[in-house]
Amino acid sequence: MYLVARILDGKKVAESIHQELRERLIRLKERGVSLKLTVVLVGDNPASASYVRGKQRTAEKIGLEGEILRLPADVSQEVLLAEVDRLNADDSVDGILVQLPLPTHIAEQEVLERISPEKDVDGFHPMNAGRNFVGLDAVWPCTPAGIVNMLHREGIEIEGKHAVVVGRSNIVGKPMALLLLKENATVTVCHSRTKNLSDITRLADILVVAVGQPNVVTQGDVKPGAVVIDVGMNRVDGKLVGDVDFAGVSEVASAITPVPGGVGPLTVATLMQNTVALGLARRGIKEE
């Protein structure tokens, strides 16, 4: 099928970010500065383990030290929190990420709030979320920040555009809306209770879909010429697909992210950017 839309290659953009970080970290190491990211993995969920290994490989590829702290699936809340406290106190650790989801017996929010805001590379701590809300400096959650970064690097104008975000999670939807507002877009947020969803998505110049359901957005839901960002990752018949009907929407959109190879690599690249930013800020180091 002939595709009209320009494909927004997340892998290519992520690699350019990796190269920039690699060069920065080389210069920092010449000054005796070495930065470290620690990812906490609870249990042996295959998908989570794969994600964590990928993050470790990327960290080491660009020159960060990447550590995986593995804990058993039946670890107690108290032991997990104690490990987070230990990492908070470890001056060699610049970024802490607790891989989600956690086992059901763990109070996830309590764990996320235990991570020091100064080492919160995911940007999920309420203090970082609150600072972002009121316009103060803080790291942003990796997926929304990666999307905005990609739009800039691809020359896609955000200011003055009508952006529609489908999804209101704390991880993607809400911070995505805030970031787009920061970029001077006019933003509409839709969710599972939105009536006549298609009527709203067809108004979008920039459409971000993050609901975790395949084919939520199809060709008729998209305004011709819109930029479509598909955050979804769903397994259908053993194949990884997004929330958007890629083939159909590609015929009307001006640009679209594929799944896989779109938003996912940008999320990991932004995680590395956040680690470097937090590490330098905490250590009071300014780059030359």
- The catalytic residue positions are 55, 99, 122
Rounded-to-integer distance, Cα 281 and Cα 119, Å: 10
Q: Where are the beta strands (DSSP E) in 102-251?
A: 162-166, 186-190, 206-209, 227-230, 234-236, 239-241
Indicate the burial class of 86 (C-beta count within 10 angstroms; 0-12, 13-18, 19 or more): exposed
Query: 145 is written with which tokens?
Result: 């920040």
Indicate the burial class of 65 (C-beta count within 10 angstroms; 0-12, 13-18, 19 or more): middle
Query: 1 is written with which tokens?
Result: 């099928």
Rounded-to-integer distance, Cα 159 and Cα 29, Å: 38
Closest CA relative to residue 56, chosen from 215, 272, 280: 272
Rounded-to-integer distance, Cα 265 and Cα 270, Å: 9
Contact of 275 with 64, CB cutoff 8 Å: yes
Rounded-to-integer distance, Cα 163 and Cα 204, Å: 5
